[in-house]
Amino acid sequence: MKEVVIISGKGGTGKTSLTASFATLAENIILCDADVDAAELQLLMAPKVQQKTDFMGGSLASIRRDDCIECGTCLELCKFEAISEEYIIDPIACEGCGVCVDLCPEQAVDFSVQKCGEWFISTTRYGTMVHASLGIAEDNSGKLVSLVRQQARILAGQNNCSLLLTDGPPGIGCPVIAAIGGATLLVIVVEPTVSGLHDMSRVAELAKHFRVPGLVCVNKYDLNSEMAGQVEAAAEKMNLMIGGRIPFDPVFTRAMVVGKNILEYAPASATAESVRTLWHNIVTYSVMDGTGLKNFQEQ
Amino acid sequence: MIISVASGKGGTGKTTVATNLAASLGKGVCLLDCDVEEPNAHLFLAPNVTEADEILTFVPRIDEEKCTGCGKCSAICRFRALTVVRGKVLVFPELCHSCGGCVAVCEEDAVLEEWRVLGTLESGQAGDIKFVHGRLRIGEAMSPPLIKAVRKKGFTADGITIIDAPPGTSCPVIAAIRGVDFVLMVTEPTPFGLHDLKLGVEAVRSLGIPYGLVVNRADIGDDRVRNYAARENIPILLEIPFERKIAEAYSTGRMIIDVLPEWKGRFVELYGKLAACAGN
């Protein structure tokens, strides 16, 4: 089983719009939305939820006021400034380390496991999708990302799906690290701007750090052709192949408004053709062995 | 007055709004780029960085001569950063959250302080603007402590502080908006924009901070964002249309006010409106 993860470093470069389009082009896939903070793939996939499970993340400490003797041990030990002078624990500041729980001489601190979100197995018009929603202001997003990817892998095995298509989160921190480890190929979506170039370089470094191969797609490349050239030169310097160039096209937004991807909304457009070329380059990339390649003649 | 510029969705224009607002207000403004995973504000403000420090976090190191292999450190660690194998403690520093529990429980004083680099804190001046940002080390997972370090470094009791926040609604965002006077949410009028705006609004409400909207690329998409704002009584403080001139300027690292100077007045006006909303 192969896994393609779509990432970008910078947000809003078109990860989800492209992932949804790939779902139309690919064959025999499981879809996975690993952007649990801002899970947008569902807006283009209309998933019908078949199974909903609570995500139990970390635990939160709370002091039982009746048993507390205000000795100050927890105040002194807490490295996260989560305990007030009145011995009340701030749930947002609490890291869930449990140090106050274990070391309270009166054992007056409770430590209950928290529901930090939910994850779902759903059906879509392109097969099964595993996705999640993280609770507001929660940590543990990396854990939830690992969980949805793991569940998607299990389902892919059970259903003999050869390809897992994963929509990744922005950035380079904890959820991104959880989203790329062990992937077959990363598709890095970049826009031709100074920010796009800067952020691509950092996420490409991250890919190198975790030894995951990647290729680059320049989205909205004609917004600034000169910058697009600079992005491509930087990518090539980092040994990243240019998998495709997608023009700036308002049709992406129009398709999104009606809940479709661009291959469904404007299949005959030149932009749709550029997405097909990109997908072809992804599935024929050496590490992919043609997995996810549809016979285009049959279409 | 501390203002965080935030958005659930990435790429809606947080950095555009934060940098243009800072540059329009000019003297006495401090800009803190708290998107430490992908900091971009420096590309537009071109600060003269005069100070750079590594930000470190505690990780344990075991003094093997003192360690008895009792396993208490491993038992208290909720992050599985310590494990005992055949009487020897193995440390996984990348998993450590720096809670110090292992140091506190060790009766042999065998847990020593080691440090892991979280990233770099850089500061300087961008013209009249005081500038601070953090750059998370590649491979580092934990951004909130670095975000807190940026806010601490840039803290001033008076003047105007503008924070460029990371995208999302989880812990890094909370670290960048907690305790501020006003959150300026930047969104775009598309289904993705609306979906993430709702999550962002929930996050800001849960912290009880006053907030308002900037609608960027205001003429694309549909009306659902405006309808939602009207229904929820959220003030729209500024609308920025999609203009190729703005998009092209952005692509080369220039601000809106560099190419369309008439926008300077609009950003100053934006500050007036948000200060009124914040009750200042």
pLDDT tens sequence across A74-86:
999 999 999 999 9
CB contact under 8 A, A10 and B190: no
* CB contacts < 8 A (A, B): 180
CA distance linking residue A15 with residue A5, whole number of Å:
10
Q: How far is A169 from chain B (nearest CA, A)?
A: 9
CA distance linking residue A285 with residue A4, whole number of Å:
11
B138 contact residues in A (CB cutoff 8 A): 172, 202, 205-206, 209
From B43, B97, B199, residue closest to A194, measured CB to CB: B43
Count CB-CB contacts under 10 A for residue B272.
10
Q: How far is B63 from chain A (nearest CA, A)?
A: 21
Q: Cα A27 vs. chain centroid, distance in angstroms?
A: 21
CA distance linking residue B90 with residue A244, whole number of Å:
45
CB contact under 8 A, A253 and B221: yes
Mean pLDDT of A160-183: 96
Count CB-CB contacts under 10 A for residue A150.
12
Q: Which residues of chain B have pLDDT under 70?
A: 280
Q: Is the pLDDT of residue A297 over 60?
A: no
Q: What's the pLDDT score for residue A299?
A: 43
Domains of chain A from N-terminus onward: 2-55+118-283 (3.40.50.300), 65-107 (no CATH)
Q: What six digits make up the tokens of A72?
A: 């100050």
CB contact under 8 A, B168 and A173: no
Q: Tokens 């599985």 map to which residue?
A: B80
CB contact under 8 A, A97 and B79: yes
Nearest-CA residue of chain B relative to A135? B170
Nearest-CA residue of chain A relative to B190? A257
CB contact under 8 A, A257 and B97: no
This prediction has a pTM of: 0.95
pLDDT in tens, A249-285: 999 999 999 999 999 999 999 999 999 999 999 999 9
CA distance linking residue A270 with residue A248, whole number of Å:
11
Pick among B170, B178, B225, B226 to test the A interface (most A CBs inside 10 A) = B170
CA distance linking residue A235 with residue A222, whole number of Å:
17
Helix (H, G, I), strand (E, B) or coil at A167: strand
Nearest-CA residue of chain B relative to A176? B141
> Cα-Cα-Cα-Cα dihedral of B258, B214, B190, A137, to 10°?
120
CB contact under 8 A, A173 and B37: yes
Pick among A7, A55, A89, A253 to test the B interface (most B CBs inside 10 A) = A253
From A13, A102, A142, residue closest to B141, measured CB to CB: A142
CB contact under 8 A, B136 and A172: yes
Q: Please report which confidence band the pLDDT of residue A292 belongs to, taking 50, 70 and 90 as the band edges.
A: confident
Measured in residues, chain B has a length of 280
CA distance linking residue A97 with residue A99, whole number of Å:
6
Query: Where do runs of H (alpha helix) occur along A63-184?
Result: 73-77, 99-103, 141-158, 174-180
Helix (H, G, I), strand (E, B) or coil at A254: helix
Q: Please report which confidence band the pLDDT of residue A295 belongs to, taking 50, 70 and 90 as the band edges.
A: low
Nearest-CA residue of chain A relative to B170? A137
Q: How far is B58 from chain A (nearest CA, A)?
A: 11
Find out whether B1 and B275 touch, Cβ atoms under 8 Å.
yes
Q: What's the pLDDT score for residue B280?
A: 56
Pick among A7, A33, A145, A174 to test the B interface (most B CBs inside 10 A) = A174
Burial class from Cβ neighbours inside 10 Å (0-12, 13-18, 19+) for residue A268 reads exposed
CB contact under 8 A, A205 and B190: no
Mean pLDDT of A185-203: 97
CB contact under 8 A, A13 and B11: yes
Q: How far from A295 is each of A184, A266, A292, A298, B93, CA to CA, in Å?
A: 22, 20, 10, 6, 48
Closest CA to B6 of B167, B171, B182: B167
A92 contact residues in B (CB cutoff 8 A): 174, 178, 207
Q: How far is A160 from chain B (nearest CA, A)?
A: 32
From A10, A98, A202, residue closest to B76, measured CB to CB: A98
From A142, A202, A259, residue closest to B38, measured CB to CB: A202
CB contact under 8 A, A257 and B222: yes
Helix (H, G, I), strand (E, B) or coil at B37: coil
From B78, B140, B196, residue closest to A97, measured CB to CB: B78
Q: What's the pLDDT score for residue A298?
A: 46
Q: How far is B207 from chain A (nearest CA, A)?
A: 9
Specify the higher pLDDT residue, A19 or A299. A19
CB contact under 8 A, A136 and B221: no
A134 contact residues in B (CB cutoff 8 A): 169-170
Q: How far is B253 from chain A (nearest CA, A)?
A: 6
Mean pLDDT of chain A, nearest integer: 95
A139 contact residues in B (CB cutoff 8 A): 170-171
